[in-house]
Amino acid sequence: MKYSAAFLAAASVVYAQQAEWQQCGGINWTGETTCVSGTVCTKYNDYYSQCTPGTGTSAPAPSPSSGLPRLGGVNTAGYDFSVATDGSFNGTGVSPPPAQFTHFANQGANLFRIPFAWQLMTPEVGGPINETWFSNFYDVTVQSALSSSPNTFVIVDLHNYARWNGQIIAQGGPTNDQFASVWTQLAQKYGSDERVIFGIMNEPHDVPDIATWVDSVQFVVNAVRNAGSKNFLLLPGSSWSSAQAFPTEAGPLLVKVTDPLGDTSKLIFDVHKYLDSDNSGTHPDCTTDNVDVLTTLVSFLQSNGNRQAILSETGGGNTASCETLVGNELSFVKTSFPTLVGFSAWAAGAFDTTYTLTLTPFANGTDEALWTSAIFAFCRLTSSSGACVSRDPTASNFSSGSNNGELLRSILMPPKGRNPNPSGLGRAIINKKAKDARIAHETGIYTTDPESTRLQSITQERDLDEFLNTATLAGVDFTAERRNVKIIAATANAHQNPYLLSEEEERTTLRKQSENKQRLRVPRRPSWTKNMRTAQLDRQEKDAFLEWRRGLAELQDRDQFLLTPFERNIEVWRQLWRVLERSHLVVQIVDARNPLRFRCEDLEAYVQDVEGAEGEAGTGKGKRRSLLLINKADLLTARQRKLWADYFDERNVKYAFFSAANATAIQEARREAAAAEVQQQDEATQVQENAETRSNEDVSPQTQSTEDANNNEESDDETASDNEGRPEESSSDGEDDNGVFLPIEEGPEASDPRIRVLSVLELEDLFVRSAPDLSTFVDSSGEHPAKLVVGLVGYPNVGKSSTINALVGEKKVSVSSTPGKTKHFQTIHLSPTLVLCDCPGLVFPQFATTKADLVCDGVLPIDQMREYTAPTTVEEGGEGKITGPDLLVAYAIARGFARSGQGNPDEARAARYILKDYVNAKLLFCHPPPSVSDDDFNEQTRQIALRRAVGKKRAPTTRVTKKADTFVASTVQGDPASTANSSQKSSNLDQEFFNTGTLSSRPYMQGARGQGQEFSRAKLYPHQNMVADDGTPLTGRRARIAAVLAAGGDVAPGKKHHKKMKRGKQRSGKGYDD
């Protein structure tokens, strides 16, 4: 909201005398002291006089030259933004809107606190003031506040928490001379205007020696007075200027600070007190009115020379609880005057309306609910009768008959209304998001991350999101640059899938990737020690992570490499760092179908770089060991495992084959067998008890023999029934109950011990044998670890959690087919000497030709896939007669998948089903080592799949019974019906269907104008009519018409058909037989 300065000046000339209900005198009052006719200047106290209706002589009210009136107003923040609680500063500050001063002053506010960063005022500690910034920004803001009303006071507040860049004043940081330098220069600028109050320092905290700090305050007081200033000074205490701690901590020492002016009337104590649960000013709800605390403070001040204090920071959220409690607090401030001079609520200025404690007016001129309550409380302060009287010169009782008053009212004061929703779910959500905008009490020590959503895995980002997140990590500001447009040319080959590479491009890409694979690294955690502060460590980790991101960006932008989507969230990488630091043996789990895709070679090198028992710098490297666990090995044949074993042996990689699915199935079968055995024992016991009961009866031997035989038969039948329901561990056709492929162990390779698929006990024993000696690890207490910690890391969906469940023997970790189920590292005690540590799945950066490979490998979620043509085409192989889209169309038609509202086959849905079957190994394809061809590697797998398909149930050849009139008999080889001549129409239909190059699922246009064309295209010019829609030359009548049109002739009118009205549709009355 901007105001016309000329108009306001004209208005001040019109009203040379104070109008009805306006102030006309008081301490430090510099405005008009006479009232208009019909009113009289009534004195309420020494600090406030007002023009009230009545008769009598209007005389100037007394205006004492000393002492402060009741003060009430608001903090206008902006120049203090980016000041950390350690006194460091990394920003430029934001100018508060000047219109706010007039807005609040018109409602009765007479105090504005304007904080600033020390580094903005003096870029060098102890150096001169930055005159450019001071003149163009800060002083402009101060003068705007002072000009909002003649009785306005401004607190100039140094907002650095008694520190400069982490160092405490006079206690290892800036000297007292450097501290006093900024106030000496400000005293020279504002010393002539006593309406400017000097707030020496905002919220000193964690000061080692309070007495030394009080000496620094005394030093500043002397320096300001030596500069000739007589301004009021606010003396800060300790513990964040807490009003509660003041009487017992800094108060007894601050009362001894003297003023060279001769008395202490211009030395005011600066205290803060918020109303939320922890007195931090970060929560929207209020829990106390602070009356007890302020009562103790008032008693202390009165008993120590009737000293004064000001509540320069207080407030709460715009909630019902705060409206009531803040009103109670300010009412107490009123009754405690002059001991409590007044208050300044936090905060308006550059804060937006989503900030938790915002008092910033809305765009339409209305105020927040809490400020509305504060206005009335402040009005009560200005009147001895307790009535809320507006000071607004545009109020209805101000010269109501004046047109100028109405004009001022229409320009300056939009109609205000109470917020209809001061509290609720929406505001709670907004306050939660803005809770970190200002933190008054930051200790730097934490044990729990309150933001659980920060662990969300992020593998792909839009360009704008990536830019904003990078700027947030770096902690820097940015400026948008417009008109910076890059034109990306479309691919020249329209028949090439834009999501796949050609053969030549793929060969070139693979060669470049092989030459630069050493540049792909896992982000390292920078060296750290236990004496580092949390903020320092956090900044160091973010800087290292940004440097890693910068290196990958150079690979993509400068060298034109395509990287797979990799993890971009630093919080997820921190989970990996913690797992590596606490693990002694790091097991990298990969999928047996494509081990090289899931293996990160640099991770094995990083394991050797982690230092000591806890990762602390200087504790020694190279103590941890790595193991490559090839999971899902049951999907490989013995020959395939042997080829991979040879490959890893050549490269000295320690590996092992394992199948979490097989281990779990065996455990389930054993549990069922044990349950069946217990059931048989119970039944046998029951039979024996029945036999003993019958033994007491007189039964013939022949009858007894017959009953025993019957019992044995029943027992055999039950046992056979149990065996039928018991799952078998292997299947002759190599397939389990769920249709998952299970290869058959055959050939001489099956006896090779290297390729043995380990059982659970063998895998546990391998962990123990592969781990380093625990005596080489020593923790911070000097003790050797008592348990071996095995860390499990790898890509999402490779089976880390399933492996843990198989080892434990029961479900301990949540398992899901969706990649990234595990969100936080977790430890499971497998035995008294072994602990498993499960790390969230991480997508490591890898070179790739396309993103389709990651979808096929199960790394990227299939349900979130939008582009399906590349994943369904990447493994097509064969001769190319049946393409990927053809398979999707046929599958969708067979399954009845159709798009809603169109009736076309839904290829996207079909693609999801097929890709899930591929990921779940129902459609099995295994990638070979680099030196082996795909066909040779998968030959045995395909033969097994073909043998599995023999004898499978097929779909019926007909859907109607033989008695139906629409029944068509099945034709087999040798059947005379198969050689019968078909009609010309049927032959043409068959020829068109089977001779078409590709299957099409697009709808055809109906009617004579559409001519059955597959899609609509322009035919405005003659050359566009020379070929058909599929590009083939026209024939027959259409060709002749095209030739005439090309020659510029007209087409003669066609044959006249004289068609009559069509008859209604006739039905034969026949239908399908039941």
Catalytic positions, please? 203, 313
- Do 911 and 872 touch, CB atoms closer than 8 A? yes
- Do 283 and 325 touch, CB atoms closer than 8 A? no
Of the chain, the end-to-end C-alpha distance in Å amounts to 81
Q: How far apart are CA 18 and CA 109, in angstroms?
A: 18
b/e string for 99-131 if b means 16 or more Cβ within 10 A?
bbbbbbbbbbbbbbbbbbbbbbbbeebeeebbe
How wide is the angle at C-alpha 1051 spanned by C-alphas 1045 and 1056, nearest 5°? 155
How wide is the angle at C-alpha 110 spanned by C-alphas 104 and 113, nearest 5°? 85
- Cβ-based burial of 511 (10 A; exposed 0-12, middle 13-18, buried ≥19): exposed
Q: How far apart are CA 492 and CA 506, in angstroms?
A: 17
- Cβ-based burial of 254 (10 A; exposed 0-12, middle 13-18, buried ≥19): buried
Q: How far apart are CA 496 and CA 507, in angstroms?
A: 16
The amino acid occupying position 228 is G
What separation in angstroms does the CA of 762 have from each of 414, 440, 656, 666, 766? 80, 56, 10, 14, 6
User: CA-CA-CA-CA torsion for 1046, 1052, 1057, 1061, nearest 10 degrees?
Assistant: 80
Those residues whose C-beta lies under 8 Å from the C-beta of residue 684, and which sit 6 or more positions away, are 715
Angle between helices 660-695 and 800-808 (to 10 degrees): 30
Closest CA to 160 of 189, 200, 188, 197: 200
Bridging pattern class, strands 826-831 and 834-838 = antiparallel
b/e string for 629-653 if b means 16 or more Cβ within 10 A?
bbbbbbbbbbbbbbbbbebbeeeee
Neighbours of 1060 (CB within 10 A): 6
Q: How far apart are CA 227 and CA 188, in angstroms?
A: 6
Residue 628 half-sphere exposure toward CB, CA atoms < 13 A:
25
For 355: left if phi > 0, alpha if psi spans -120 to 50, otherwise beta; the answer is beta
DSSP string, 596-613: HHH--HHHHHHHHH--TT
- Cβ-based burial of 610 (10 A; exposed 0-12, middle 13-18, buried ≥19): buried
Q: How far apart are CA 701 and CA 1016, in angstroms?
A: 94
Closest CA to 383 of 129, 49, 69, 41: 49
How wide is the angle at C-alpha 613 spanned by C-alphas 607 and 617, nearest 5°? 80
Angle between helices 291-303 and 320-335 (to 10 degrees): 20
Q: How far apart are CA 688 and CA 669, in angstroms?
A: 28
Q: How far apart are CA 236 and CA 159, in angstroms?
A: 11
Q: How far apart are CA 13 and CA 35, in angstroms?
A: 15
Helix and strand counts by DSSP (H, E) for the chain: 31, 20
- Do 638 and 747 touch, CB atoms closer than 8 A? yes
What separation in angstroms does the CA of 2 have from each of 146, 151, 362, 364, 394? 17, 21, 14, 12, 16
